């Protein structure tokens, strides 16, 4: 199969982690007879430096012309980088939001899975971890607070800022369907997360989710308030299979869920629309503090590339192989610094490696 992949390396650790994902894709391509071609696309701070804006129309066109886009990370230190002195719509993150919206990537899948081998990196107690956990956060990605009207103005001599949270029933229905579809392929449980005790948008969310649920009699579903969900994620993460939620809640809960799995450096993601196209990126940020040091964990990006093979190209066997290679490398005791065990006694059993060595070790196991 010929696969044309747009590549947004981005800023910070982005280029380092993307290079490892490409290495792993090429290795899988070699083994199974696929060819991957890559086209670099500028987005984020590097695009601001080169063009003055975080995402150009040419970049959007290039992304649209690809079968899928693999992304690293964008942005810099929000307190020190000159990018954050620019108007909000010219900052790195605005590029990502524009890309998500332009490509209609409304469904964001973020799997949070605790690897047996990384139990020590999990901050929760052993009795809470139990046999581990495996959940999928289905986050709505093109609506809500991120895309509502916003303004900052003087009201009666007082500076006042407003953001608007809007959802219509169609936006809720299409993401809810995706959530139930994915639950059918998993443990058939959906937890729909909202704030229906306060927000109108959440009350509509609940109503539409209930309608959609009727078409999925095999799926057990429940509603949970977002504050309670934040608590349940650390109290008993095993209870979750699919967490279905709106944009902002999903942003916050997915960071929390990732930390429960040990490190955000392990968390992959897929952003999908109605076609086979997808944008695949690690859930973590650009980590400017460690950029260029060769110590960033490339696993989330490598697992995102595996999601790309699965969802855009229907190459399940190839995706399985990459995921198995990641598991094996962890089993063999290799760790980047973010997933090193805390206690000295345990450190004796593992080997600390850098970004590109981790990529090589995963390739060897494919």
- x/- letters, 241..280, toward ligand IPM (CB under 6 A): ----------x-----------------------------
The single residue among 16, 20, 93, 117 that binds ligand IPM, judged by CB under 6 A, is 93
**Is the distance from CB of 18 to CB of 51 less than 8 angstroms?**
no
Set 101, 255, 327, 347: catalytic member:
255
Question: Which residue of this chain has its Cβ atom nearest to ligand IPM in the complex?
Answer: 93
Helices (H), 192-298: 200-213, 226-235, 247-260
The question of whether 332 is a catalytic residue gets the answer: no
Task: Answer positive or negative: Cα dihedral of 225, 226, 228, 232.
Answer: positive
The question of whether 255 is a catalytic residue gets the answer: yes
- x/- letters, 248..287, toward Mg ion (CB under 5 A): ---x------------------------------------
**Is the distance from CB of 263 to CB of 337 less than 8 angstroms?**
no
The question of whether 195 is a catalytic residue gets the answer: yes
Set 146, 167, 280, 311: catalytic member:
146
| Secondary structure (3-state) at 4 | strand
233 half-sphere exposure, CB direction, 13 A CA radius: 29
Provide the Cα torsion 64, 41, 254, 217; round to 10°: 20
**Is the distance from CB of 361 to CB of 329 less than 8 angstroms?**
yes
78 half-sphere exposure, CB direction, 13 A CA radius: 7
Segment contacting Mg ion by CB under 5 A, of 1-9, 77-85, 215-223, 247-255: 247-255
- From the list Mg ion, ligand IPM, none, pick the one residue 297 interacts with, judged by a Cβ distance below 5 to 8 Å according to partner type: none
196 touches ligand IPM (CB under 6 A): no
The single residue among 5, 53, 96, 325 that binds ligand IPM, judged by CB under 6 A, is 96
The question of whether 227 is a catalytic residue gets the answer: yes
Catalytic site residues?
A: 146, 195, 227, 251, 255
| Residue ranges that bind Mg ion, judged by CB under 5 A | 251
């Amino acid at each position: 199969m010929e696969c044309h992949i747009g590549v947004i390396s981005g800023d910070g650790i982005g280029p380092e982690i993307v290079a490892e994902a490409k290495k792993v894709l090429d290795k899988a391509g070699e083994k199974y007879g696929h060819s991957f071609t890559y086209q670099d696309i500028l987005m984020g701070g590097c695009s601001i430096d080169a063009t003055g804006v975080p995402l150009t129309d040419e970049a959007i066109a290039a992304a649209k012309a690809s079968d899928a886009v693999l992304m690293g990370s964008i942005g810099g230190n929000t307190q020190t980088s000159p990018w954050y002195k620019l108007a909000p719509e010219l900052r790195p993150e605005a590029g990502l939001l524009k890309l998500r919206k332009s490509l209609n990537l409304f469904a964001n899948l973020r799997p949070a899975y605790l690897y047996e081998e990384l139990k020590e990196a999990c901050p929760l107690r052993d009795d809470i971890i139990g046999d581990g956990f495996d959940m999928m956060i289905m986050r709505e990605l093109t609506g809500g607070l991120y895309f509502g009207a916003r303004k900052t103005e003087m009201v009666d001599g007082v500076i006042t800022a407003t953001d608007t949270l809007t959802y219509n029933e169609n936006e809720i229905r299409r993401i809810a369907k995706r959530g139930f579809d994915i639950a059918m392929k998993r443990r058939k449980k959906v937890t729909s997360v909202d704030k229906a005790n306060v927000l109108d948008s959440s009350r509509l969310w609940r109503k539409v989710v209930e309608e959609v649920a009727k078409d999925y009699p095999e799926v057990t579903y429940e509603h949970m308030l977002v504050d309670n969900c934040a608590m349940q994620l650390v109290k008993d993460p095993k209870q979750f299979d699919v967490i279905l939620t709106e944009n902002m809640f999903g942003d916050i809960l997915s960071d929390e869920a990732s930390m429960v799995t040990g490190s955000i450096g392990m968390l992959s993601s897929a952003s999908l629309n109605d076609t086979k196209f997808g944008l695949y990126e690690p859930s973590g940020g650009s980590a400017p503090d460690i950029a260029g040091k060769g110590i960033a964990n490339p696993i989330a990006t490598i697992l995102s590339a595996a999601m790309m093979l699965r969802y855009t190209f229907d190459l399940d066997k190839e995706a399985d192989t990459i995921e198995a290679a990641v598991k094996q490398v962890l089993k063999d005791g290799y760790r980047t610094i973010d997933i090193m065990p805390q206690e000295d006694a345990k450190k004796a059993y593992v080997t600390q490696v850098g970004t590109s060595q981790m990529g090589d070790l995963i390739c060897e196991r494919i």
